[in-house]
Chain A
Amino acid sequence: MLSVKVAWRNLWRNRRRTLLTAGAVGFAVLLVQLGMSFQAGSYEPMVEVSTRFASGHLQIQHVDYKDDPRTERFVSNTTELRSHLLDLPGINAVSNRTESFGLVNKDERSYGALVVGVDPQIDPSASHFSDQVTQGTYFDSPNSAIIGSALARNLRVSVGDEIVILSTDVDGSVAFIAPSVSGIFETGNDALDRSLVQVPRSLINDALMLEDSAHRVVIMIDQPMLPEQSSEVITPLVPSTASLLDWRELMPEISQSIRLDKISNGIVYGTLTVIVVLSIANTFVMTMFERTREFGTLRAVGMHNRSIFGMFITETILMWMLGVAIGYLLSTCALLPLINIGIGMDSMGMDQFAGLLFLPDRIYPAVDLKVVLVAPISIGVGMVLSTMLASIRLYRLSLVDALRYRE
């Protein structure tokens, strides 16, 4: 215990230097934890929002549909399949969707669009579209449609107007429906608002002669960030002509943007850690020089090199603990209010970017074990390595030179 006491008191021989070093560690911990907590806090909402506007967490679809979507590539008996899926653990919603690319017409104007058939009573449990209707209502009859705001503007369509949608059925024959617009939605995502029309699935299935079939059986699960867990239990129910895909395969741009974000931020955090560790290493090397004669004395009175090294490591660990404590204190002060109020994307001028990446309006930091431990551990390892490097001099030092050393 006396050597711990010596190590602790040694830290305070130069109070200002110790506080600056511990402050640097604390500040690095704060920065990394803030950054990582916002990262952790943004991914799940991003996935949640994007999947509810598009793919869902998991999908069962015809094996060839993803690469070459055609009307005749469908999954049959979807009502029965849905009811079996809902019996499985960890699944909270299943929605069958029919899709077809078509030409949407109003008077003299025509625009290409993706026409999606949904069950209006069921789909809101798997999708955000019902909440995004800014004009009119979300389906008021079996022959109604909701369309994106940009498409409505382009077609000069208002709520109550009739539109004609031309497509091709499973035989390749021309099929058409003429629903009236019950609502106009605005998601904030330009691509969706410009080229998406939703109609009741019964309406489009009749027109395309698809009966109870669907192109996508959309599944929402309790753990969207761990889709492989649910995949295991769903796979036995997947028809032989179909495949099960998760959101990472269905929306690779989202998973890739998450990966890119992790890599780029990892580089930033790594650089920050290296800078902090190098500055600490510099301090340790200086300390080694300043205390050369003291080490000579300790060896002269009979202390082994390894014990002196142990004392140094103890000092480093105490310094690290002090810095991490400062870092945790600062992080707690910064994160506690932010966990409750979050940061508005518009306040950072990122509302357009947020729409593009399906980010929510506000992001909230999320603190998990990784956020808590990564910075302290990586800085701690760096500090111990720095101490070991600085200590090499200790082993090379002649005892007589050490005793004669003058600062």
Chain B
Amino acid sequence: MTNDVVQLRSVTRVYGQGNVAVNALQGISAEINKGEFVCVVGPSGCGKSTMLHLIGGLDSPTSGTVIVEDQDLSTFTNNELSDLRLRRMGFVFQAFNLIPVLSACENVEFVLQLQGIGKNERDTRAREVLDSVGLADAADRRPGELSGGQQQRVAVARALVGNPLLLIADEPSANLDSTTTRELCELLQSINRKHGTTILIATHDSLVMNYSTRTIQLEDGKIQQENPA
């Protein structure tokens, strides 16, 4: 048993074949420890999102091993990966990816319903988490009635409501202005500090990097540098 939440061992990911093959990741190895706030940084196309997808079990490496909580993800079935994401991970996407027909509260509740939690507890916990991200008043509004920043906060609430070990965010500030980005980062930082939730963010926004405890810099699918903050 290690303190590592995530271990990547010589991971490669190649998209396509032959002349059109793209080496998104070229044999990277890294560890992410429990309670860290890690930013994966680098220019567009350097492999940041691919790395996050592999860690989240959304994609499989072409070679190498991805280990989450001491378990090799290559041994998991699709349903087991879904269960792992449901119970141990939370995702925040660049485009928020909320369910448009559900209110903010229902979007957050949805994850709890998938976990099999009863209606009353779902509602209580969802509202508590929305309150913690400063959206208590917007709980009954649908995504279309919320600003970009508010939608991203709902996405964060949805990612957090299941008490995940690891929160993965892929370019969460890409659609936000600097003020809202700062608010979001402060929120993530407080979650990291308060609950010890490991946070892994892919970004090329220097503002976001300022909040991390460590950065992993990727370039052309290779780790160029790892810097503690």
- Which B residues are CB-close (under 8 A) to A303? 82, 86, 114
- Inter-chain contact B110/A300, CB cutoff 8 Å: no
Structural contact, B101 and A300, CB atoms closer than 8 A: no
By beta carbon, the residue of chain B nearest A305 is: B78
How far, in angstroms, from A293 to B91 measured CA to CA in the complex?
14
- Among A13, A302, A398, A400, the residue within 8 A (CB) of B82 is A302
Contact residue among A2, A300, A305 (Cβ-Cβ distance under 8 Å from B113): A2
Once the chains bind, are A307 and B101 in contact (CB under 8 Å)? no
Are A297 and B97 closer than 8 Å at their CB atoms?
Answer: yes
> A392 contacts the other chain (Cβ, under 8 Å)?
no
Which residues on the B side are within 8 Å of A304 (C-beta)? Answer: 78-79, 82
CA distance A403 to B158 in the complex (A): 17
Q: Which of A278-300 contact B (CB under 8 A)?
A: 293-294, 296-300
A302 with B106: CB separation less than 8 A: no
Within 8 A of B (CB), among A288-340: 293-294, 296-305, 307
Q: A12 to B113, alpha carbons, bound, how many Å?
A: 22
Say if the beta carbon of A135 comes within 8 Å of chain B.
Answer: no
C-alpha gap A407/B138 in the complex (Å): 28
Q: A301-B85, A400-B53, A400-B58 are in contact. Are A13 and B101 (CB under 8 A)?
A: yes
The majority secondary structure among interface residues of chain A is helix
Q: Does any Cβ of A come within 8 Å of B83's Cβ?
A: yes
Partner of A301, one of B79, B101, B110: B110
Contact B102 A302 (CB under 8 A): no
Closest residue of chain A to B84 (Cβ to Cβ) is A302
Q: Is the CB of B85 within 8 A of A300?
A: yes
Q: In the assembled complex, how far is the CB of residue A335 from the closest CB belonging to chain B, in whole angstroms?
A: 36
B interface: dominant SS: helix
Contact (A302, B58) CB under 8 Å given A5-B106, A297-B93, A400-B53: no
A293 contact set on B, CB distance < 8 A:
95, 97
* A294: chain B residues within 8 A (beta carbon): 97, 99
- Does B204 sit within 8 A of A, measured CB to CB? no
8 Å CB interface, A344-385 against B: none
A387-405 interface bits toward B, Cβ cutoff 8 Å, 1 = contact, 0 = none = 0000000000011100100
Which residue of chain B has its CB nearest to the CB of A298? B99
- A301-B85, A302-B111 are contacts. A403–B93 as well, Cβ < 8 Å? yes
CA distance A301 to B114 in the complex (A): 9
Interface residues of A in 67-100 (CB under 8 A from B): none
Q: Min CB distance, B200 to chain A, in Å? A: 14
Q: Are A2 and B53 in contact (CB under 8 A)?
A: no
Tell me if B36 is interfacial: C-beta within 8 Å of chain A: no
Q: Does B9 count as interface, using CB distance less than 8 angstroms? A: no
Chain B, interface size: which category?
A: 20 to 34
* Interchain CA distance A400-B50 in the complex, whole Å: 9
Question: Does A259 interact with chain B (Cβ within 8 Å)?
Answer: no
A3 at interface (Cβ–Cβ under 8 A)? yes
Within 8 A of B (CB), among A248-268: none
CB distance from A91 to the nearest CB of B (A): 63
Q: Please give the distance in Å from A316's CB to the nearest CB on chain B.
A: 16
Name the CB-closest residue of A to B91: A300
Q: How far is the CA of A5 from the CA of B115 in the complex (A)?
A: 17
Nearest Cβ in chain A — how far from B202, in angstroms? 13
Check B93–A13 contact: CB distance below 8 A: no
Q: Does A10 contact B (CB under 8 A)?
A: yes
B56 within 8 Å of A by Cβ? yes
Cβ of B125 < 8 Å from any Cβ of A? Answer: no
Q: Are B78 and A302 in contact (CB under 8 A)?
A: no
Output the least CB separation between B221 and chain A (Å): 15
With A6-B99, A6-B102, A9-B101: A301-B91 Cβ-Cβ less than 8 Å: yes
B214 within 8 Å of A (CB atoms): no
CB distance from B16 to the nearest CB of A (A): 13
Q: Which residues of A contact B114 (CB under 8 A)?
A: 301-303, 307
Q: Considering only CB atoms, which chain A residue lies closest to B102 in the complex?
A: A6
Distance A305 CA – B83 CA, assembled complex (angstroms): 12
The answer, yes or no, to whether B182 is at the interface (CB within 8 Å) is no
The answer for the CA separation of A1 and B83 in the assembled complex, in Å, is: 20
* Interface flag for B100 (CB, 8 Å): yes
Against A, the Cβ 8 Å flags (1 = close, 0 = not) of B99-123 are 1111000100111011100010000
Whether B58 lies near A399 (C-beta < 8 A) is: yes
- Closest-by-CB residue of A relative to B89 is A302
Asked if B110 and A2 sit within 8 Å, CB to CB, the answer is yes
* Residues of chain A within 8 A of B59, CB atoms compared: 398-400
**Given A2-B110, A297-B93, A302 contacting B53 (CB threshold 8 A):** no
Q: Which residue of B lies closest to A2 (CB)?
A: B113
Cα(A13)–Cα(B100), bound, Å: 9
Give the interface centre of A2, A9, A13, A300 by most chain B CB atoms within 10 Å: A300
Q: Please state if A301 and B100 are interface contacts (CB–CB under 8 Å).
A: no
Q: Is the CB of B82 within 8 A of A2?
A: no
| A and B contact pairs by CB, cutoff 8 A, 11 listed | A2-B110, A5-B102, A293-B97, A296-B97, A303-B82, A303-B114, A305-B78, A307-B114, A399-B53, A399-B58, A400-B59
Task: Given contact pairs A300-B91, A400-B58, enumerate 6 new A-B contacts (beta carbons under 8 Å).
Answer: A2-B106, A6-B102, A302-B85, A302-B87, A303-B86, A399-B58
Pick the 6 closest A-B CB pairs, nearest first.
A302-B86, A9-B101, A297-B97, A302-B85, A399-B58, A400-B59
